[in-house]
């Protein structure tokens, strides 16, 4: 499969298909500045984003499985059509399905784009009886990675869904990390019986398991190490933000996650969770998150 796709979409040394872990096909994007990204066809799952200085910005668990039956642990899982637990498999099925690479491009400024697609099938209709088509547009530039989801209702009936980028950021030490930009936002604390609270702090710091769904949030957030911004997050039409660190006990319970790996990661996830995507027949929703390693 990789060979066939390679001949269609390969852009010499800039975007090409390679064999990843467990011989699963992945797309490699190599920007002329030295930045790069890698994305598996399985789940259209980005597992690496390095900025132009070669710093790996995403966390990947050393214990992640690479097999068709489960999600990759780390990187940027795509959550659709359900966030969290519910009637469907947890976090939906998009992260467990093989997507199709439908387009690649390199523009005159050296910006690289890869477009992946997931269309409803008998398998998805058995799980979630709605017709849809999703495009995932990944754009790599010198020090930014833009992620865009375009969801179309291809059926005749209305549907609503949840969707998010469940992004795992690589950090040196969770104890010196904070997430800023959510002060004053309401959030649901999933660890305190789904209580809805207001965050009064100027930044979220981590001293215990943290699992909060922030609602209708500002469109610019920062991850800081000490007082230095290490990653800037800008978003459009993705009002909700989940901030998660499993801390000690949950890390031990996760079989594909090292007991001490909570120290090297933080999830800041952008999406539509409480504010669901609502689409009439043939309507389209589009949402975008832009990660950058320099404050824009």
CA-based max dimension of the chain: 53
Q: Which residues bind ligand TA6 (CB under 6 A)?
A: 71, 84, 90-91, 166, 211, 242, 244, 267, 269
Q: In the complex with ligand TA6, which residue's Cβ is closer, 84 or 155?
A: 84
What phi, psi does 137 have (nearest 5°)? Answer: -105, 120
Q: In the complex with ligand TA6, which residue's Cβ is closer, 138 or 241?
A: 241
Q: How far apart are CA 112 and CA 89, in angstroms?
A: 33
**Which residues on adjacent β-strands are paired with residue 144?**
292
Q: Where are the alpha helices (DSSP H) in 144-293?
A: 247-253
State in angstroms the smallest separation of the CB of 12 from ligand TA6: 36
Residue-by-residue DSSP string for 61-74: -TT---STTS--SB
State in angstroms the smallest separation of the CB of 240 from ligand TA6: 11
The neighbour count for residue 239, using CB atoms within 10 Å, is 19
Question: Residue 67, exposed/middle/buried by CB under 10 A (0-12, 13-18, 19+)?
Answer: exposed
Q: How far apart are CA 133 and CA 125, in angstroms?
A: 12
Question: Out of 130, 166, 261, 288, which one is annotated catalytic?
Answer: 166
The answer to whether residue 166 is catalytic is yes
Nearest Cα neighbor of 25 from 8, 13, 43 is 43
Peptide bond into 81 cis (omega under 30): yes
State in angstroms the smallest separation of the CB of 217 from ligand TA6: 15
Q: In the complex with ligand TA6, which residue's Cβ is closer, 205 or 250?
A: 250
| Cα separations in angstroms, 61 against 15, 44, 223, 277 | 25, 17, 20, 30
Q: In the complex with ligand TA6, which residue's Cβ is closer, 71 or 279?
A: 71
Q: Residues, the chain, total?
A: 296
Question: Out of 38, 261, 269, 288, which one is annotated catalytic?
Answer: 269
- Position of minimal CB gap to ligand TA6: 244
Q: In the complex with ligand TA6, which residue's Cβ is closer, 49 or 214?
A: 214
State in angstroms the smallest separation of the CB of 95 from ligand TA6: 8
State in angstroms the smallest separation of the CB of 254 from ligand TA6: 6
Q: In the complex with ligand TA6, which residue's Cβ is closer, 64 or 292?
A: 64
Tokens describing residue 240: 């909700």
State in angstroms the smallest separation of the CB of 43 from ligand TA6: 11
Q: Where are the alpha helices (DSSP H) in the chain?
A: 2-9, 122-127, 247-253
Active site members: 166, 269
């Amino acid at each position: 499969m990789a060979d066939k796709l390679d001949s269609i979409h390969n852009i010499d040394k800039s975007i090409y298909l390679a064999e990843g872990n467990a011989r699963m096909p992945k797309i490699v994007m190599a920007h002329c500045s030295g930045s790069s990204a890698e994305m598996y066809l399985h789940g259209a799952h980005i597992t690496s984003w390095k900025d132009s200085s070669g710093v790996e910005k995403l966390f990947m668990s050393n214990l992640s499985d690479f097999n068709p039956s489960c999600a990759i642990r780390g990187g940027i899982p795509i959550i659709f059509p359900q966030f969290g637990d519910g009637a469907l498999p947890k976090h939906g099925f998009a992260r467990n399905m093989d997507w199709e690479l439908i387009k690649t491009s390199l523009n005159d400024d050296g910006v690289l784009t890869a477009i992946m697609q997931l269309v409803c099938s008998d398998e998805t209709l058995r799980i979630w009886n709605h017709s849809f088509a999703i495009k995932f547009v990944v754009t790599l530039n010198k020090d930014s990675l833009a992620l865009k989801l375009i969801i179309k209702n291809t059926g005749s009936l209305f549907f609503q869904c949840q969707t998010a980028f469940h992004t795992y950021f690589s950090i040196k030490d969770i104890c010196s990390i904070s997430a800023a930009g959510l002060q004053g936002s309401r959030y649901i604390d999933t660890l305190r019986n789904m209580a809805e609270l207001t965050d009064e702090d100027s930044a979220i710091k981590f001293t215990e398991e943290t699992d909060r769904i922030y609602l209708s949030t500002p469109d610019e957030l920062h991850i800081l190490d000490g007082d230095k911004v290490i990653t800037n997050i800008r978003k459009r039409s993705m009002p909700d933000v989940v901030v998660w660190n499993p801390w000690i006990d949950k890390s031990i319970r996760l079989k594909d996650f090292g007991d001490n790996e909570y120290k090297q990661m933080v999830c800041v996830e952008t999406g539509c969770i409480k504010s669901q995507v609502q689409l009439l027949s043939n309507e389209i929703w589009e949402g975008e998150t832009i990660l950058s390693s320099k404050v824009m």
